[in-house]
Amino acid sequence: MPAPRFLDIEYCQTDDVLFPVAMAWSLEDGQMKTVVIAPADEWIPEDADLGDIDLLYLEEQGVPLIELAQELHQDLPDQTVYVDGMDPDEILVDLIFTAVAMDAPFEIAGMEELVTSLPREALDDRRRQLLSDEGLEPQLPENGVYALLLIAREEGFFD
């Protein structure tokens, strides 16, 4: 059985907007990729309140959406990708692929569909505990993916 794949997305959400700003995902070998995302123009209305998001940084350092979509097609074709279920992941993935007029190459499922031995609340608690034990900032997507990888390892999905 191939190793499960995981994904986490950091995003901006205010009264005016919702869009992804960074993403991390795991590969078949358990390695991880992470990117800052250059937002689509249509995601940001004129004079929108973006909270503490640095739009200039995203525009200068972010990966263009077409490159991100192509990389996800290469890395996660026909996969079920597991998420922590704490964020609007499906909406955020739809935003990315709609902006480039492509279909997502993967299906999103909650971690509880993979790890059926623990109830959803226990999975959330375990994820939070791992982030705390490892001294990891929960808002960074690579840390979210790392915590899910650790849970999957504990549950015997890979070494």
Task: Give the mean model confidence (pLDDT) for residues 73-84.
Answer: 96
Note the pTM of the prediction, 2 decimals. 0.94
Q: What domains does the chain contain, in order, with CATH numbers? A: 5-155 (3.30.420.10)
Q: Other CB atoms closer than 10 Å to residue 122's CB: what's the count?
A: 12
Residue 19 has pLDDT above 80, yes or no: yes
Cβ–Cβ under 8 Å, residues 87 and 60: no
pLDDT above 80 (res 111): yes
